[in-house]
Chain A
Amino acid sequence: MIEMEKITKVFPGGVVANREVDFKIASGQVHALLGENGSGKTTLMNILYGMHRATSGTISRSSQTLTIGSPSDAISHGIGMVHQHFMLVPTLTVAENVVLGTSAGPNRLCPFLNLREAEERIASLSREYRLDVDPRAEVWQLPVGAQQRVEIVKALYRDADVLILDEPTAVLTPQEANDLIDVLSNLASRGKSIVFISHKLNEVISLADEITVLRNGDMIGMVRKKDTDAKDLARMMVGRSIEPPELPNRSPGEPMLTVKSLCVEDDRKLEAVKDVSFTLRAGEILGVAGVDGNGQKELVEAIAGVRRAVSGSVETKHQGVSNREYARRIGHVTEDRLKTSVVLDFSLWENFGIKTCDTSPHASWLGMNIGSLKAATEAAISEFRIKSRGPDEKISSLSGGNQQKLVLARELGLKPDILLAAQPTRGLDVGAAEYVHQRLIEERQNGMAILLVSTELEEILAISDRVIVLYEGKIMGALAARKATREVLGLMMAGERLEEMERSPGERN
């Protein structure tokens, strides 16, 4: 029904985001746009929604050419989009957000709002499509899943019959994701066309009728779900077949990190970590699962010594050393690479030496030995296979994967006995993520104690020995990774305690 033909998008600066991409959406279908980060999926959909203009190519609907220069054009052609970062004004109510930018009633110039009418229509849309949205609630009070449904209502209120969703499950718990999948299939069965952008194979396979795969801005192909499987799609997406990482057997050693009744506040002085206790042993990877923003950041920062705990204790072998020395002894891959792991304006060697530039062998009494720092960086570049033009290149010109490899090289180069790895593969392509996983497993074999924080359950399940789940700052339970299932972890991520589930397995609905 909607057809994009030979779409090319070149950004100022020469980056080609899409190269002659064809994309077709039929009505009543769920169409997945699959590809790695940076493959051009979001750009393509932003073009359809009028946020970007294509450099060349045409968009047509029922063989009529459309000109879409702005989101309003897209809306008037019945196209709606749910962005990855929601486009909602938190201080307004649901109804106010929905009517924002619409011209109410028959008189376009009439400035007055008829919120009651809007509220009624939202309520009826909510009933019709089973969206469970309260039009009078203020948006900031709603959980993420509900905010997402508000975005869907917003599109439906504007009579959208094509709905684009950008990475819709990224912010949801597995159960919320399942609910969303139900909502989307329901919408499709009522004749709406759904496009959803994703890099997760399992959800693409469970939801889509048709799948278009992009890689590096090129369209690799369009397949029907019944003609393909996960392996095929992975090969199309990455360009080669990928093997899941394997965790060799190893029994853990002595405790390296003991956290006892730890309470930590976030930047707003709200309690973010509540009475958390666990032990991490040598040669063990402990996965910390949970939806983003449930205290993971504060927990890791408190252990790393960059955030003061309110109460409780963190015990390691490194008590009583200076803060600077402590930072050298605990490896820390921070969750926001660009903000807290690297200095973007610094070169590779400066970033590499940021922790060690004032200790031997890189420093003498007063001076810093730039030569030895550069040599060490050079060695790290070849060991970690970092694609760069050498130690003097600015880190900002590297891809995310190569930046992360440098961070990993820096942190592992200190030979710490504890590594805190927060979202170590976030935003990385499959190849780089594979490499990071391999390295972590290797270090585990050599006896390092690793705390792996991730919002991706697949990652946690694949390379952890044990898993704990954080929900609103509290541990919902701990279990061996090989006994854990997505379902159980998902329930824990939504706030159910493991012990309660075990106590009453029959009573759950």
Chain B
Amino acid sequence: MEALLSILNAEFLAASIRLATPLLFATLGGILCERSGVINIGLEGMMLVGALMGVFGSWYLNSPTLGFLVGVLSGALVALLHGFVCISLRSNQIVSGVAINLIAIGLTSFLIRIVFGLADQQRIVPHFNSYPFPVLGQIPFIGPAFFNQLTLVYIAFLMVPVSWFILFKSRWGLAITAAGEHPKSAASVGIDPQFVRHVCVVLSGAFAGAGGAFLSLGQLHFFQDEMVAGRGFIALAAVIFGRWNPVGGMIACLIFGAADALQFRGQAVGMGIPHQFMLMLPYALTLAILIIAGGKSKAPAAIGIPFRR
């Protein structure tokens, strides 16, 4: 118990928030995509591509910011493929997503070896550093917990109200919801549901790419094979647990982030629990949350169904 209490401090909160951030990027993308009626199981693969391309971008353009943008764009590009297969060709969305995940694993491990060479795979690239807020960062406890983070963390959490506003208070959000709930009614008033879905899928890829690039440029500072390690799938769980609402998704991500932080801290402090067990924690929590949220949450009615006129 004492050991447990010793880890619940400002540092733990800061770590929870930092670890929630890549999940949050991907979750916001997932929400956007699924609300428009397309399942994006490929978030994981899009994150992985974003992580790698972020590293490449940052190395060759010698700027983590430009590298991050490259990561975002590459995620969007992969998503464009998913959209083409699922929306234009009306193929199965699950199969396309699984294919993207598998291709991403192979492609990224291949490219990192080709580009950086076998010996220098885990080359440290220019990366982001934390940005403490001038005044807020000085507040005891709250400062180090909330206001001594990477700029991207603030951006990710700022995207929550922004996307909430777009989804629920704008004409675009209405069109997205209509495309995901009842695409025929959207079509009957002159909205092209396929176009709406394409835009949302591409944006979800951009968000996933951002999450991946955050992992590589904000946390690890290099690329490692399969470094996303299931976070794309945890984000999918957060989409469902958050009931397709950005605010709910953010809460889910914070819970997962905390579980992840607990796992790291627990390992460091050494609570007498095998570290393999701690490692399992975020994933076990995902399963538990899906079981709890399972029956109750209601997915967009037309999700997974290709639109035909």
Contact = CB atoms under 8 A, between A and B. Distances in A.
Interface stretch (A4-12, A91-99, A369-377): A91-99
Interface string B163-178: 0001001111011011
Given A90-B181, A91-B181, A100-B178, A111 B191 contact: no
Contact of B188 (A81, A111, A112): A81
A70 B186 CA distance: 12
A25 to B, nearest CB: 20
Contacts of A87: 182, 184-185, 188-189
A101 B301 CA distance: 19
Interface string A402-427: 00000000000000000000000000
Q: Which of B172, B175, B189, B309 has the most CB of A within 10 A?
A: B189
A99 B188 CA distance: 13
Contact of A101 (B166, B175, B177, B182): B175
B182 to A, nearest CB: 5
A101 B189 contact: yes
Contacts of A88: 182, 185
A72 interface: yes
A87 B193 CA distance: 13
Contacts of B172: 111
Q: How large is the interface on A (under 10, 10 to 19, 20 to 34, 35 or more residues)?
A: 20 to 34
A77 to B, nearest CB: 12
Given A87-B182, A104-B171, A112-B169, A92 B187 contact: no
A96 B188 CA distance: 15
The SS class assigned to the B binding surface is helix
Given A72-B190, A75-B190, A90-B301, A99 B174 contact: yes
A72 B188 CA distance: 8
Interface in A80-133: 81, 83, 86-92, 96-97, 99-104, 111-113
A71 interface: yes
Interface residues of B, number: 21
A72 B189 CA distance: 6
B243 to A, nearest CB: 12
B189 A100 contact: yes
Interface in A47-72: 51, 70-72
A422 B44 CA distance: 49
Task: Find the residue from A70, A75, A88, A91 having the highest chain B CB count within 10 A.
Answer: A91
Contacts of A92: 174, 177-178, 181
A89 B177 contact: yes
Interface string A444-458: 000000000000000
A89 to B, nearest CB: 5
Given A87-B182, A90-B182, A113 B189 contact: no
B190 A112 contact: no
Contacts of A111: 166, 170-172
A154 B182 CA distance: 16
Contact of A89 (B166, B171, B181): B181
Nearest to B187: A71
A96 B182 CA distance: 13
A97 B190 CA distance: 13
Contacts of B187: 71
A70 B193 CA distance: 13
Contacts of A96: 174
Interface of B: 166, 169-172, 174-175, 177-178, 181-182, 184-191, 301, 309
6 contacts: A71-B189, A90-B301, A91-B301, A99-B171, A101-B178, A102-B171
Given A70-B190, A89-B182, A100-B178, 10 more contacts: A71-B188, A75-B190, A87-B182, A88-B182, A89-B177, A99-B171, A101-B178, A101-B190, A101-B191, A104-B171
